[in-house]
A and B are shown apart, each in its own frame.
Chain A
């Protein structure tokens, strides 16, 4: 079992570093995780992270397109906030599971 220690608390993550329990997430933990991806979180980042967490909690499958339609950011801005693989990276920092791409 892999764990991440933050502020003395052990947090369980999977092999790719995604939280196993989204309820263990805190904004401070998000900052810590983001810094490993070389991202410094701004208010805009947190808007996206909170939106992702809310959607995850209601069981909505997530996609880049859906975030582009959220009214929070467009897809280009989403890439600028979380460069590389924005959905994978933002999901990790938001403490939610890696989105399963539909096939």
Chain B
């Protein structure tokens, strides 16, 4: 029996287990997936918890429900990959051998990377919302918060789901308005980027939205430390931003196991050097990397992992019969952006094409509008929770093309 081993049973790993178990010959291949956590979290739902839109229990399900029959599910902490020996060490002392390895160990926020972030104000006046604990703690805080300076800060440019901090900001504006206390809250969006987002057309649109909602954007602010006593953020060039309530998006890092296996790239953030088209590791030819764990220059987001999973399944099937890896990932990402008051916008882009206005997924009829704020986009986002649990994780085909399509997009000549 040949062995295919998947590390990480989050969105990317679970999709790969489903796709591969359908496509690999069960008489020849044994598939094993490892994760330290029994629970699967619907991470896009973390955004809604602080505002009471989702209840915490709506975003948790047992991982086992989504692991297909015939796939071994091991609950254990991954300690180290020994690529030369084709083996993985687990915390319990178990050693797993493999013929093909898929690394899907994701990314986590690491507030400890920034001086003073995880200090005495942590979960008192400073919160993250990308973890289950952070978002549920923040929900409790917002219930009783009396107002003041609300600061949303990105500690690093390379973060998971780069649109979520914007969505949080828009939802906060709507939340305090609906509570009748928006006049008591000043909102600041403090980012190391030069504007609200990275890509020019989307940034122009989002900067305008920020302005309409009276949100102050402070760009080019690269956080060095947090002074807990004075309650200020301090940048590397000694600029200061005071806060009463800080919602932080801490530095994101790949799994500690990546560092311990000496597999990370030069950023020191534990992301694994990966071919951006084939998703093969740059170090070992029988090792493939998917989702947030890679260092490919695409968004760290579930939609990206979904499109990658289609490509990677094809490439692994080619690899095991010694054929060239013909499927090429184009960097496709597709993100709903909640803008508050039951509306949302939508962006669709890849490595080379920035988000453009137009209709999605079909020309003229849409029904979704790209780079426009509509109700249909908001319902698209809410409907996605059902799609996630029932179709995406189990690797079913979605009616969206894997490679980005120009259908419905409005293109202006680019100089």
A65, A79, A88: the one contacting B268 at CB < 8 Å is: A65
| In the complex, chain B residues whose CB is within 8 Å of the CB of A78 | 236
Q: Does A76 contact B (CB under 8 A)?
A: yes
How far, in Å, is B272 (CB) from chain A's closest CB?
14
Q: Are B236 and A69 in contact (CB under 8 A)?
A: no
Interface string of A59-98 (1 = CB under 8 A from B): 0110111100100000110110001110010000000000
Q: Are B224 and A65 in contact (CB under 8 A)?
A: no
Q: Are A79 and B194 in contact (CB under 8 A)?
A: no
Q: Does A103 contact B (CB under 8 A)?
A: yes
Q: Does B407 contact A (CB under 8 A)?
A: no
The residues of B with any CB-CB pair to A shorter than 8 Å are: 156-158, 162, 192-194, 197-199, 220, 222, 224, 236-237, 266-269, 295, 297-299, 333, 415
For window 5-49 of A, CB contacts with B under 8 Å fall at 15
Pairs across A and B, CB under 8 Å, 17 listed? A61-B297, A63-B157, A63-B158, A64-B192, A64-B222, A69-B267, A69-B268, A75-B222, A75-B236, A76-B224, A78-B236, A79-B236, A83-B237, A100-B198, A100-B297, A102-B158, A102-B297
Q: Are B237 and A102 in contact (CB under 8 A)?
A: no
Q: Are B220 and A84 in contact (CB under 8 A)?
A: yes
| In the complex, chain B residues whose CB is within 8 Å of the CB of A66 | 266-267
Closest A residue to B301 using CB positions = A103
How far, in Å, is A99 (CB) from chain B's closest CB?
9
Q: In the assembly, what is the distance between CA of A65 and CA of B269, in Å?
A: 9
Q: Are B222 and A101 in contact (CB under 8 A)?
A: no
Q: Are B266 and A60 in contact (CB under 8 A)?
A: yes
How far, in Å, is B293 (CB) from chain A's closest CB?
14
Most B CB contacts (10 A, CB to CB) among A61, A84, A100, A102 go to A102
| In the complex, chain A residues whose CB is within 8 Å of the CB of B295 | 61
How far, in Å, is B305 (CB) from chain A's closest CB?
15
Q: Are B415 and A15 in contact (CB under 8 A)?
A: yes
How far, in Å, is A15 (CB) from chain B's closest CB?
7
Q: In the assembly, what is the distance between CA of A100 and CA of B157, in Å?
A: 11
Q: Are B266 and A103 in contact (CB under 8 A)?
A: no
Most B CB contacts (10 A, CB to CB) among A64, A65, A85 go to A65
Given contacts A60-B266, A63-B158, A102-B157, contact A75 B197 (CB under 8 A): no
| In the complex, chain A residues whose CB is within 8 Å of the CB of B266 | 60, 66, 69
Given contacts A61-B297, A75-B236, contact A103 B197 (CB under 8 A): yes
Given contacts A15-B415, A61-B297, A76-B224, contact A103 B267 (CB under 8 A): no
Q: In the assembly, what is the distance between CA of A100 and CA of B236, in Å?
A: 21
